[in-house]
Amino acid sequence: MAFYGSPFLAEQKNERIEGKGKYTFPSGNIYVGEFKDGKFHGKGIIHFKTGGQYEAEWINGIAQEGQYTFKDGLIYEAENWDYCTKEDRRFFAERVNGFSAGIKKF
């Protein structure tokens, strides 16, 4: 899971990274959560430099179930996604703040 030169700030058990901690990717994205044997394992969040975050339950470094939240607070939904579609090109912030230019009701 780890990349050479990318720092861990984490608990250790038997000289292995286990427990709660923080891992910084070479890209600058940061994982904060639980580890087991140096892998993401348990609950954890990846904080992206762009402002979004992905919160998930991890097993041996693989996200089992998670949720991505955009920088502006919009939560991504795989089903029934209705933001920035061909029918309504507005972004989440535009809809929340009431921007409605160019929206036609059919």
Please say whether the beta carbons of 41 and 35 come within 8 A: yes
d(CA 42, CA 5): 24
pLDDT for position 10: 78
| 37 vs 27: CA distance, rounded Å | 22
pLDDT digits (tens, 9 = 90+) for 16-73: 888 999 999 989 999 999 999 889 999 999 999 999 999 999 999 999 999 999 888 8
Specify the DSSP element, H or E, that contains 96: helix 92-96
CA angle 25, 47, 84 (to 5 degrees): 125
CA distance 8 to 96: 38
**Pairwise CA distance, residues 106 & 64, whole Å:** 40
Domain 8-96 has CATH 2.20.110.10: yes
